[in-house]
Structure 1
Amino acid sequence: MRGNSRARRWVAALSCLAAACALPLPAALAADAPPRFDDGFGITVLDQPEWVDEHHRTFVLTVATDQVPGFAPIGRQVSGEHAILVVLPENYDPGVRYPVNYLLHGSPELPDSPRYQVLPERATEGVPLITVTPHGGGRGWYSNWVAPGASGVQNWESFHLDQVIPLIDANLSTIASREGRAISGHSMGGFGAFHYAEHRPELFGFVGSFSGDLDLLDPRMRGAVVGSALLPAAGLPLDPPDAVFGSPVWPGDAVWNEQSPAHHVEPLRGMGVAIYTGDGGDLLDDPVLAVAEAVVRDAAAVTSANLTAAGIAHRFADYGDGTGWGEGCDGKHARDACLQADLDDYVGLLAERLQHP
């Protein structure tokens, strides 16, 4: 998506001309172009937004940041170039202020993959909600890394909370307060959503986890984090196993304990909270995804129990093998049918809780 077309340069030129003459652009031309973004907050815009398709709801913006100047790219990615995918409400009106849901992707995924276009487009049909999926790296774990080594600075948390959020608020018509802002995510992104909400509760009015990796005290989850550093599919070159949270082994595992969302729920008090999980369904049908979901279900149960003990109201949707939850959902990890049902339900909660037009 690098580079602007000749037609887009003409649009920019006409925009400047219209501004200089204090004249509005023709309605058809203005409606045909996605919003333009200015640099700011430590972010440099490398490529202006381009629509993903002819429906003109979803666009991709490419940026650079001093907080993650380089990363281990996956496939077509270029290190240092961060894609941010944005799904606008139908008939987006720059004169109206909209709530925003930050939807964090899993590992190893790309933010501008079809999943993160299709799921929120379907979930927000008729709902005045902006969805933003920032790049979180193949193994970024939505954290400021303790020992990044050869990868250099990997401050994913600072990138997203201190740079991406204000950039979105400055360039789109948003409700720029916790009353109009939510965060959610799948798998690694579920960890990120709770991690961010617990660290910065003043930013978010609602948090949701879709099969999230919430319990860093669980050795199986520690294995998943360490394993992602050694997984070529999560980006090359590989990273040290202790890069993100330090040593996972006692007595050097203090950071793991401090950053476990399941065990630090108090900051979520007063926030809307939702947790979604299946049980893996039939173990003989795709055993890898079945076991993966069974592990995150245990993490979800621990988190829910700690929320309940703290007296924090929350929604815990444990849909087992997916029966009756969503058409085609089989209770396994990373299934679009299950994630669609999760997000549909979550967006319904946001429509009730968040400030909106």
Structure 2
Amino acid sequence: MSRLLSGVGAAHVLTGRRRGLGRAALAALLVMVTPAAAAASDLGATVSSSAPAAAPAATIGDDVIGDLTSSHGLTVSEVDRVDERLVRLTVASQELARPVRLTLLLPQGYTATTRRYPTLYLLHGTSGGADDWVQQGEAEDITAGFPMIVVMPDGGYDSNGGGWWTDWVDQDTALGVANWETFHIEQLVPWVDAHLRTRARRSQRAIAGLSQGGFGAMSYASRHPDLFVSAASFSGAPDIAKAPQARTLGAAVVGAIMTGLNGVQPHAPFGDPVLDAVNWQGHNPADLVGNLRRMDLRLWVGDGTNGPYEDTADPRYASPDPIEAIVHESTLLFAEAADAAGVPYVLDDYGPGRHRWPYWARDLAQYLPRLAEVFRQDRSVPERIDYRSIDRRYSTWGWRVRTRREPPQAFSGLVRASREGFVFLAGPAVVRTPPSYRPLTTYRLRVQGERTRARSDARGRLRVAVSGGRSVVRVQGRLPG
């Protein structure tokens, strides 16, 4: 039976539901990600076909979808307009070692109007690729009635184990350069907004994914909450580093995929789970759950037992699915972290169900009506924001932070940041505000109880230096003259 749980306050229910994950499940996972077994596993996706041959232009008859040319760090080498809605591209980037695939689903009637549309970034799972949601997940049919652009990028090379949606700590593996987050967030998102008729603002952009892509969707959303209004995980792993169980599971799963499917050292994406623990935490949705406070959050997961899409006479389904059991544990741990932080979410812990495409297609079909409603709301930017990061330099919601500290990775963050001021945790740092003030005007400030002043720049931004620990900054008003 499906149980739809809304946080906050569901943690005690979820805890009662949890089943412990034993060594047998982890052992089964390790077997499934060896090269010999990879093709038969349900690790998140089936192997996609190779990139299609290029078409002369992105047209069918007299219909032209746009100028899908190189820009924003992406070099477009192939464009294949398959039908009215489906477009396949091959793109290259200096952030990646080789060209990768990009699949687009356009809304019905896209070429017949000048209308602009919201965008859903839809991520694949382990051993998958850009075409998986179309070939395996019925995405073209499921999205047909929804006025949105769907963007499905590769998250790994040649349908290998996947890049875990991060810039790798180890860039010297046999796979070469692997800056997946930079490619997706800093290059692909602006490229899409520049070349397709999107509504290029946060309230009109969402991200979702299955399995490893479920982790990726929640990780990107938690690290870039100013880009996405909604995030969804379908049998994902949104906690790989916060809870003790999650750390064990995360290290085992990531390590098995790296060695068994990618042929690289087990800690290539995030570093050593102990020595580089802060890097794991800084990309882990459960550790960054406070960043998701003003986002529409949806999670679906089964318990690994046979559900409505399994033939119990099939010997492949004689035992519970260890991978769905693992992501079930991870999802419930994320829900507990969200409850503890007071962050709302909706979790469909639907019980019987394995790590298979029929469930993810069903999840997507259930998600889209809610997402369409969120897009219609066109939510405004929050007046106050909270944000934490491990990065030495970061920007979010128009705020920019440059820390001055050692080591290079450590948590810092903004609390209740608004036009009236902010609290900064774990300085020293220089904080630049959004353009919220009168340009070239001097303002009175109180920093840690001491009176001072700062002059806004030509765009109306203030620059404030803060010391270590907890710094309270209040903007008290502008000075005359």
Please tell me the TM-score bracket, short chain as reference: 0.7 to 0.9
Residue pair 1:179, 1:354 contacting (<8 A) in 2 also: yes
Q: Does 1:84 align with 2:102?
A: yes
Answer whether contact 2:137 2:358 (CA < 8 A) is retained.
Answer: no
- For the Cα contact (< 8 Å) 2:219–2:283, is it kept in 1? yes
- The runs of 5 or more residues in structure 2 that have no matched partner are 1-50, 307-311, 379-481
* 1:67 equivalent in structure 2: 95
Q: What do residues 177-212 of structure 1 show as CA deviations (whole Å, max 9, x unaligned)?
A: 111000011111011101100111110000000111
1:309 and 2:328 matched: no
Counterpart of 2:81, as a letter, is: W
- Give the corresponding residue for 1:297: 328
Which residue of structure 2 aligns with residue 51 of structure 1? 81
Give the match for residue 324 of structure 1. none
Aligned to 1:336: 357
**1:106 corresponds to:** 125
Where structure 1 has 5 or more consecutive residues not aligned to the other structure, the ranges are 13-27, 71-79, 322-330
What's the counterpart of residue 253 of structure 1?
277
Q: Size of the alignment, in residue pairs? A: 310
Identify the match of residue 166 of structure 2 among 123, 143, 150.
143
SS in 1 for 2:126: coil
Q: In structure 1, the residue corresponding to 2:154 is in which secondary structure?
A: coil
The answer to whether residue 254 in structure 2 is matched with residue 225 in structure 1 is yes
Instruction: Verify the 8 A CA contact 1:58 1:117 in the aligned structure 2.
Output: no
Distance 2:358 2:320 in 1: 14
Q: Which 10-residue stretch deviates more, 208-217 or 98-107? A: 208-217
For 1:289 and 1:112, how far apart are their aligned partners in 2?
28
Give the C-alpha shift of residue 287 in structure 1.
6.3
1:320 is aligned to 351
Deviation, 1:99, is 0.6
SS of residue paired to 2:132:
coil
Shift of 1:221: 2.6
Q: TM-score, normalised by structure 2?
A: 0.61
Whether the aligned pair in 1 keeps the contact of 2:123 and 2:209 (CA below 8 Å) is yes
Specify the code of the residue in structure 2 equivalent to 1:226.
G
Q: How far apart, in 2, do the equivalents of 1:182 and 1:287 lie?
A: 37
Structure with higher helix content: 1
Amino acid at match of 1:270: R
Task: Select which of 214, 218, 229 maps to 1:190.
Answer: 214
Asked if the contact 2:137/2:357 (under 8 Å) is kept, the reply is no
Pick from 134, 141, 155 the counterpart of residue 179 of structure 2. Answer: 155
Residue 114 to residue 318, structure 1, CA distance change in 2 (3 Å): closer
Change beyond 3 A, Cα 1:116–1:130:
farther
CA separation in 2, counterparts of 1:288 and 1:230?
Answer: 25
Superposition deviation, residue 152 in structure 1: 2.9
1:270-318 Cα deviation digits (max 9, x unpaired): 1100011011114985367711111101111111122122222211011
1:32-47 residue pairs with structure 2 within 5 A? Answer: 33-47=64-78
Question: SS of the residue aligned with 1:263?
Answer: coil
2:383 corresponds to 1:351: no
Larger radius of gyration: 2
Superposed CA deviations along residues 242-280 of structure 1, whole A, max 9, x for unmatched, are: 2111112x3443322332212220011111000110111
Q: TM-score, structure 1 length as denominator?
A: 0.81
